[in-house]
Amino acid sequence: MTHLLAAIGLPYIPGWDELRPFAADLWLIVTIVAVLITPFFITRSNIACALVALAGVTLAFLSQLLVRNSPHVIGEHFRGLLVMDQFAMLWKLLLLLFVAGVILMWFTTTASNMHEGDGPEFFALLLSATLGMSLMASTSNLLMLVLSVEMASLPSYVLAGFRKTHRIGAEASLKYVLFGAVTSAVMIYGLSFLYGLYGTLQVGAIGHAMAAGAIGVGGNALLAVALLGLIVGIGFKVSAVPFHFWCPDVFEGASIEVTTFLSVASKGAALVLLIRVLTTIAAGLGFAPHAGMSLAALAGVIGVMGAVTCTVGNLGALVQTNIKRLLAYSSIAHAGYMLCAVSLLVRHKATIVGEDGNSIAAQAILLYLAVYLFMNLGAFTVAALIYRQTGSEDITHYAGLSRRSPLAAACMTVFMFSLIGLPPFAGFVAKFNLMWVLGTNGGWWWALVAVIGLNTIFSLYYYVRVVKIMYLTPSDAPALNVNPLGLGLAVACAAALVLLFIGLAPLSRVTTNYGKLYLTSQTQQQPAQSTAMITGERR
Amino acid sequence: MSFSVLAQSDISDAANTATAVLFYLFAIMAGGSAICVAVSRNIVRTAVALLFTLTGVAGLYFLLNAEFLAAVQLVVYAGGTLILIIFGVMLTSKSPFSRFEAKLGEVVIAMSLACVLLFALVMGIVRTTFATDEFPTGNYPIDRLGQVLLGDYLVPFEVVSVLLLAVMIGAAYLAKGRRREGEEGAARSGSLSRQAREWS
């Protein structure tokens, strides 16, 4: 027996210490299986599956909450393939909280419409996409990067077209698949050049290899193509201009809880991944300009992309009358604001990464996402409640909502003002913090602050228009009998926004504490290299 | 002594020549049919050209001593995926010989972008020395591949299994027949869960 084991080599069995930090991801996998076997035992499987999924996500959230910042936890795991650090921890918590909210929202919107028997598929796909987005925060390896992005994307394509009898939904799904497939292909092609140039899949090792040696003019051209490919692939997920065309169509065609899910989770995960990869590379280079690898140029590209994205998003939203399309363009704009902050992470070490490794850009984005999650969940919930009652997603049908459903109208007003970034709501804290971080770095980041400020003024028009229609346009339509659970969810989101504004000091402290990225140091041992292992001599 | 050395170098020369000839053969096969894929307007012809591209790439893998990868390429892509594509075309398209028409402006923009990118890539690739590992000789160590998959790359291996499960569920859902509203669907799922209960 031992002879046999020695002949085939001892298998790698990850220890408890390695599995423990990823308890949330393991719970998600368990939940996917549980959701799939639920219909074997229960007849009304849709509701049962939703409850199982909700329970699983709650367990995942709690187990993630119990993961402590101990030295065992922070660092590379599974032979360098996954990374766990404070940044990933907080993102996972936010993601799971948000997905729990989306499942609650499902009860109020689609639960009664969905065909009996479609529930298991729906929740299995939703949770697998969540697993992918959770893994995206922990990738430190190009292979895991591609896998986690695909894990997040492929179920999302099906979710977008989940209403099979819905023509616009099918078109949206197809558009999403085609866009996604092309951008994935470009990204993987680009990453293959990164591997070819540096001979390793580890992002940290790639950064160190960049610092170690010049690769010549040709190599620099290929490096540019590789990074461009990465930006194309992730830009598609973020819906950054010019890869944003799918966003309004998919958001309009998908059912509303899928739209909500994609608007925050998918974009947030992509931003988190972008921060992780670029900061790891920048840390390998010591946050210093290097031959052939200009971090300033990279920051410039991302900053310009962010500025263009938020401007296009806001200008596009001005003419929308469908609430889902309006919120789609609004989400493009918010993704643009966050991209502006991403451009900071490649600035030099002193201002970006503090002495204890805090990344200011990561902090700004975590704080923004923590607030944005509630704003979008709430706004979409109110839109879904109104859709359930009136069958319309047109904002002109919101006329007189202040009389027809005063609480829903009040909640929607909170979300709209928060999305603009007005006090006393948390949206103000998030946007102000982001602009503050950009401003304190001076230089051309002031231009980004100006662009964001200008965009806030553009956005004022279309957000306030919704409020104006609800409160000032008269209507003799009957009062709405909105679903109490959905209204409760909306009120909870609105309350969260007010609370987060009041508790801005703890919020900022938590995000600062959690805005830490684990960055491999120069002395780290060389991680596993794929081909060297495969093509090595037979032992 | 000298005779045998001479013979050996002759043999290796011949082997190198054969490798070079095969390389160019497979490369032309892959590249040429890839151009056909892009240029052809008949979707069935495109699919057949793709078959030759994939086979040519598989041949290149063989020349790199990556027999396993080459076999996978042949079995999965040339064998499986391509048949699926052709079946998909036959089953979905109203006429199997449907044509794509692109506007002249689109063609011009796409061509110019593609040419710029091709130029950059060719110049870049020609002038770059890539990070190379030692060239594997002799038998491809397939047992190492298995060990690496269940060792260093255990996590991606497991994640792929979940991904494939999710994709399978999604595909099964999309392929499931479109039901009429109301009773039929309820009846079917009801009988399914009854069956499931009896079964369990």
Q: Do B141 and A45 touch (CB under 8 A)?
A: no
CA-nearest residue to B190 within chain A is A43
Domain annotation covers residue B15? yes
Domain annotation covers residue A5? no
- Which positions in chain B touch A155 (Cβ < 8 Å)? 166-167, 170
**Domain holding B65: CATH number?**
1.20.120.1200
Residues B8 and B67 both lie in one domain: yes
Q: Do A158 and B163 touch (CB under 8 A)?
A: no
Domain annotation covers residue B47? yes
- What's the longest Cα–Cα distance across chain A? 85
**Closest CB to B170 among A116, A155, A165:** A155
The more confidently predicted of residues B3 and A487 is A487
pLDDT at position A345: 75
Q: Do B189 and A222 touch (CB under 8 A)?
A: no
Mean pLDDT, to the nearest integer, of B130-146?
A: 68
Residues A152-204 pLDDT 10s: 999 999 999 888 888 888 889 999 999 999 999 999 999 999 998 888 889 98
A162 close to A124: Cβ distance less than 8 angstroms = no
Tell which of B41, B76, B99 closes a domain. B99
Residues A123-141 pLDDT 10s: 999 999 999 999 999 998 9
Minimal CA separation from A445 to chain B, in Å: 31
pLDDT at position B193: 45
Minimal CA separation from B130 to chain A, in Å: 5
- Which positions in chain B touch A21 (Cβ < 8 Å)? none
**Closest CB to A164 among B120, B129, B178:** B178
pLDDT at position B5: 46
Question: Which are the contacts of A26, defined by CB distance < 8 A and separation ≥ 6?
Answer: A19
Question: Which are the contacts of A246, defined by CB distance < 8 A and separation ≥ 6?
Answer: A172, A175, A176, A179, A180, A236, A239
pLDDT at position A303: 92
Residues B25 and B77 both lie in one domain: yes
Residues A99-110 pLDDT 10s: 999 999 999 888
Residues B7 and B69 both lie in one domain: yes
Q: Is the pLDDT of residue A476 over 50?
A: yes
Instruction: Please tell me whether residue A400 adopts helix, strand or coil conformation.
Output: coil
Total domains, chain B: 2
- Structure ipTM over 0.85, yes or no: yes
The DSSP symbol for A77 reads: E
Percent of chain B with pLDDT over 90: 29
Minimal CA separation from A152 to chain B, in Å: 9
Residues A429-456 pLDDT 10s: 999 999 998 888 777 888 999 999 999 9
Place B4 in a pLDDT band, splitting at 50, 70 and 90: very low
Domain annotation covers residue A15? no
Total domains, chain A: 1
Q: Domain residues for B177? A: 141-200
pTM of the model: 0.88
Domain annotation covers residue A428? yes
Place A17 in a pLDDT band, splitting at 50, 70 and 90: confident
Q: Is the pLDDT of residue A529 over 70?
A: no
**Closest CB to B179 among A39, A115, A197:** A115
Residues A76-124 pLDDT 10s: 888 888 988 889 999 999 999 999 999 999 998 888 888 888 889 999 9
pLDDT at position B199: 44
Residues B1 and B93 both lie in one domain: yes
Residues B58-105 pLDDT 10s: 999 988 888 888 999 999 988 888 888 888 877 876 665 556 677 888
- Which positions in chain A touch B199 (Cβ < 8 Å)? 40
The more confidently predicted of residues B55 and B194 is B55
Residues A218-277 pLDDT 10s: 788 888 889 999 999 999 999 998 899 999 999 999 999 999 999 999 999 999 999 999
Residues B83 and B29 both lie in one domain: yes
Residues B165 and B89 both lie in one domain: no
Q: Which residues is A202 bridged to in the sheet?
A: A141
Q: Is the pLDDT of residue B115 over 80?
A: yes
Domain annotation covers residue A1? no
Tell which of B99, B125, B157 closes a domain. B99
Q: Domain residues for A185? A: 22-538
Residues B17 and B73 both lie in one domain: yes
Minimal CA separation from B124 to chain A, in Å: 4
A469 close to A399: Cβ distance less than 8 angstroms = yes
Domain annotation covers residue B116? no
Judged by a CB distance cut-off of 8 A, whether residue B168 touches chain A is no
**Closest CB to A217 among B127, B152, B178:** B127
Distance, CA of A323 to CA of A330 (rounded, Å): 10
Average pLDDT value for chain A: 86
Minimal CA separation from B173 to chain A, in Å: 7
Residues B182 and B91 both lie in one domain: no
pLDDT at position B59: 94
Domain annotation covers residue B167? yes
pLDDT at position B81: 87
pLDDT at position B84: 86
Tell which of B40, B72, B99 closes a domain. B99
Token pair 């620099």 is found at A220
pLDDT at position B43: 80
Average pLDDT value for chain B: 78
C-alpha pair distances (Å), A374 with each of A61, A74, A254, A261, A498: 17, 28, 20, 12, 11
- Which positions in chain A touch B135 (Cβ < 8 Å)? 535
